[in-house]
Amino acid sequence: MATALLPPPQAAPEPRRRWWAQLRRDRAGMTGLAVLSLIVVAAIVGPALTPDDQFQPNLQQTFLPPGHDHLLGTDQLGRDLLARVVAGARASLLGGLAALAVSLVLGVPAGLIAGYSGGRWDDVVMVAVEILMSFPGVLLAFLAIAGGRKIHAIEKALRITQALGPSYETMPSDGWMTFTPKPDYEGLPRLNLGVIRGGMTPAVLTWRSSLVPDYCEMIYDLRIVPGQSPESVLIDLRRLLDGLRAEDPDLRVDVELVQEHIYFPPFEVPRDSPIVPTMTAAHHEVFGHPPQVGALAPTKYAGADSAHMHAAGIPGVMYGPGGKYLSVPDERVEVENIVKASQVYALAVSRVWGMA
């Protein structure tokens, strides 16, 4: 009589372990899990991966390749692509979780009640679901946006321009800007709205002109007087904007200096400084008549290297062949004035150095 020895029966694996074992054997499933995990981690720790603002354009760094400063490069507006990918991942995950939460809180109880009760309640739920399913998802999104509160960024910006005042007009001393009026600087300070652009997103999507613009930027050029500085103007401007926010809680605005523009600080040189009579005498000798001296328009509105020389402790004056056609569409200088101004420079330099 033969006896067969059979192994003891093994317990069936737990469902959780069985699911994980099947997933590990599925290469496509493991790849999808890895990608999803990477997206979740990037969305959670995104601000630590990149300090850049996904909306802040930088037109001097457009279409940069991946590198140390921008791991994924930049787009056509100079915005960091990694920051935009991370922000998009966070928005997508939050949107999916919100939709899931709504379906669990509202959809599951409604479905359970309809399935359990049947009859009229079941018919009402089914008709409501069929009506919703008949609308395209994009149309429902537009309806949701249209039903929300509209904040027109360009109209908000226009209100700021009204508060700042008109371009190329003298700022009143009792206005929003703090300064001490001086007779020599009549006509200053003043500002000019040089750039305004707005639309949907900082990219200004022109093909979506039917939607309410959520973004608008303005670039102002300011000409200030001695005693003022960019920092003091920023303080005054932020005080003005705080007052506008108090009247309009929907107003959201950021203000900063345009770093790529060269700043020429205002300066004053005493009339008895040695460089002033030296240049005056040289001009008189070359042109045959004395020059005008003082804060003259329109040159007093302009910037020059003499401002940087003054900041370095070197007294200087603004002098040159221009002025007659300054700050006009066809700005130009006459050749004769260039030649004579060069003679004035040479004569003044020789006298400063004791050579004449």
Per-residue pLDDT tens digits for 112-123: 888 888 788 888
Q: Is the pLDDT of residue 105 over 80?
A: yes
CA distance 170 to 220: 15
Separation of CA 47 from chain center: 18
pLDDT attached to residue 236:
94
Lowest mean pLDDT among 17-26, 56-65, 148-157, 183-192: 17-26
Q: Examine residue 316 and state whether it is found in any structural domain, yes or no.
A: yes
Q: Is the pLDDT of residue 86 over 80?
A: yes
pLDDT attached to residue 72:
87
Q: Please indicate, yes or no, whether residues 172 and 215 belong to a single structural domain of this protein.
A: yes
CA distance 46 to 91: 12
pLDDT classification of 356: cutoffs 50, 70, 90: low
Q: Please indicate, yes or no, whether residues 241 and 324 belong to a single structural domain of this protein.
A: no
Q: Please indicate, yes or no, whether residues 158 and 234 belong to a single structural domain of this protein.
A: yes
- Tens of pLDDT, residue by residue over 322-344, are 767 776 677 888 899 899 999 99
pLDDT attached to residue 10:
55
Query: CATH number for the domain including 196?
Result: 3.30.70
| pLDDT, greater one: 142 or 104 | 104
Angle among Cα 346, 352, 354 to the nearest 5 degrees reads 100
pLDDT classification of 51: cutoffs 50, 70, 90: confident
Q: Examine residue 22 and state whether it is found in any structural domain, yes or no.
A: no
Lowest mean pLDDT among 203-212, 230-239, 250-259: 203-212
Q: Is 197 helix (H, G, I), strand (E, B) or coil?
A: strand
pLDDT classification of 33: cutoffs 50, 70, 90: confident
Q: Which of 319, 250, 238, 310 is nearest to 280 (CA)?
A: 319
Residue 202's domain spans which residues? 153-247
pLDDT classification of 167: cutoffs 50, 70, 90: very high
Q: Is the pLDDT of residue 35 over 70?
A: yes
Single out the residue in 247, 263, 287 at which a domain terminates: 247
Q: Examine residue 193 and state whether it is found in any structural domain, yes or no.
A: yes
What's the domain count of the chain?
3
Q: Please indicate, yes or no, whether residues 70 and 106 belong to a single structural domain of this protein.
A: yes
Instruction: With beta carbons less than 8 A apart as the criterion, state whether 189 and 248 touch.
Output: no
Q: Examine residue 347 and state whether it is found in any structural domain, yes or no.
A: yes
- Tens of pLDDT, residue by residue over 257-268, are 877 667 788 878
Average pLDDT over residues 87-97: 83
Q: Please indicate, yes or no, whether residues 164 and 238 belong to a single structural domain of this protein.
A: yes
The contacts of residue 8 (CB under 8 Å, 6+ apart) are none
Q: Please indicate, yes or no, whether residues 125 and 159 belong to a single structural domain of this protein.
A: no
Q: Which range has the top average pLDDT, 29-33, 68-72, 82-86, 156-160?
A: 156-160
Q: Examine residue 270 and state whether it is found in any structural domain, yes or no.
A: no
Average pLDDT over residues 275-279: 90
The contacts of residue 56 (CB under 8 Å, 6+ apart) are 79, 202
Single out the residue in 100, 134, 168 at which a domain terminates: 134
pLDDT attached to residue 233:
92
> b or e along 35-48 (b: 16 or more beta carbons within 10 Å of the residue's beta carbon)?
eeeebeebbeebee
Question: Percent of the chain beyond pLDDT 90?
Answer: 19
Q: Examine residue 206 and state whether it is found in any structural domain, yes or no.
A: yes
Q: Is the pLDDT of residue 102 over 70?
A: yes
Q: In this structure, what token pair is assigned to residue 54? A: 């996904």
Average pLDDT over residues 20-41: 83
Query: CATH number for the domain including 288?
Result: 1.10.150
Q: Please indicate, yes or no, whether residues 121 and 181 belong to a single structural domain of this protein.
A: no
Q: In this structure, what token pair is assigned to residue 326? A: 């300054």
CA distance 42 to 90: 8
Give the DSSP letter string of 303-339.
Answer: --THHHHHHTT-------S-STTTTSTT----HHHHH
